[in-house]
Amino acid sequence: MDRVTLELKLNDGRNWLLGQYGGLSDEQLHRPLTRSQHDPENHWSALDHLAHLALIERDFAAMVRRQVAGSANPVGLLIDDRGQQRSREEIMAIVNERTEEWQREHRNDTFSEVVALTAAARASTLQLIAELSDERLEEQLPGAPWADGTISGVLGANADHGRTHWKWIEEAGLLTD
With contact defined as beta carbons under 8 Å apart, do 64 and 155 qualify?
A: yes
pLDDT tens per residue, range 130-172: 999 999 999 999 989 899 999 999 999 999 999 999 999 999 9
3-171 belongs to which homologous superfamily? dinb family like domain (1.20.120.450)
| Span between the terminal Cα atoms of the chain, in Å | 40
Spell out the SS3 assignment of 24-89.
CCHHHHHCCCEECCCCCCCEECHHHHHHHHHHHHHHHHHHHHHHHCCCCCCCCCCECCCCCECCHH
pLDDT score of 137:
98
**pLDDT band (50, 70, 90) for residue 4:** very high
Q: Is the pLDDT of residue 82 over 90?
A: no
**pLDDT band (50, 70, 90) for residue 123:** very high
What are 35's strand-pairing partners? Answer: 43
**pLDDT band (50, 70, 90) for residue 18:** very high
**pLDDT band (50, 70, 90) for residue 177:** low
Q: Is the pLDDT of residue 10 over 70?
A: yes
Q: Is 115 exposed, middle or buried (0-12, 13-18, 19+ CB in 10 A)?
A: buried
Higher pLDDT, 42 or 161: 161
Distance CA 54, CA 78 (A): 22
Sequence spans of domains, the chain: 3-171
What are 150's strand-pairing partners? Answer: 140
pLDDT score of 129:
98
Smallest CA-to-CA distance from 57 within 4, 132, 128 is with: 128
Tell me how crowded residue 73 is: count the other CB atoms within 10 A of its CB.
16
pLDDT tens per residue, range 46-66: 999 999 999 999 999 999 999
Smallest CA-to-CA distance from 28 within 157, 174, 133 is with: 174
SS3 150: strand
pTM as predicted: 0.92
